[in-house]
Structure 1
């Protein structure tokens, strides 16, 4: 690809083997089409290297970035397409964008907190310890049963239970227990 009229790709090096089956398409491209491709793209230097192993095309860009593409088991037309890809890309790593990403990656934690799909009705652990810690032995039994319910159902479960019973407000007041104010029904 060209930036301000200057092509990014400077050189293509083709590595292939004279006997390997995976290099057959690359050998066909070098014999039949490389000369015409080089005439169409005079801004690119071409180099062919014969060595054992699978075929590769290595593109060297102006900024020093190297991009390597495997040409293993490709037909000559597919090798041509891979070389066009090298010519038409910038000398930078491809940006990975997808809908299945992790969002913004930052070293600084969010001031607002993390996103939750459902409301978190549980009190933070520090609040739970201060309000619903060990109940002193002098607390009346009805408050002890609330603490047991809270341990078994969790704060969300107790909230739902109280709403089903018709209570509009409930308050946890320190270590003394729970006060429930009932809603007056209007006729």
Structure 2
């Protein structure tokens, strides 16, 4: 059980992971699909006041937005627990990313391939701060029109950044993205 001591008597390691990306890419969905606890959500309905600032092109069906953060937890093994912090995607809430990033060991940048520009700011944020990340292309409506290699090339990502296809609605898919990030973090630590 998460948070309990392991058989050897040591508490599990806890790792803070951010889930970031643009407005409406599926961050809340990913955190909710994989969390073993009821996720904390700070969702609020979209309002008429936001019409001038929220770009709903391609996501016209969106009715709510994260205004602070999402929080979830997943136990990866007896000795590892991930705390997931989903960032708000709207530009007017980006100021919160600096505080959310404190203590984060890695991140998932969620990408909507229909609107890749919506995740550019998240990629730039983690590159500038030296926070390792993976890119997860969320397949809306179960579609993955581009292979990871084409996504990598289009985003001009270095080879050490993994690009994965996922469906943020599915627990197994979301879990696999997190495991890929943890594997990348372990490999980077071993290379030091």
Give TM-score scaled by structure 1 length.
0.32
| Greater strand content | 2
Higher relative contact order (CA 8 A, sep 6+): 2
Higher gyration radius (CA): 1
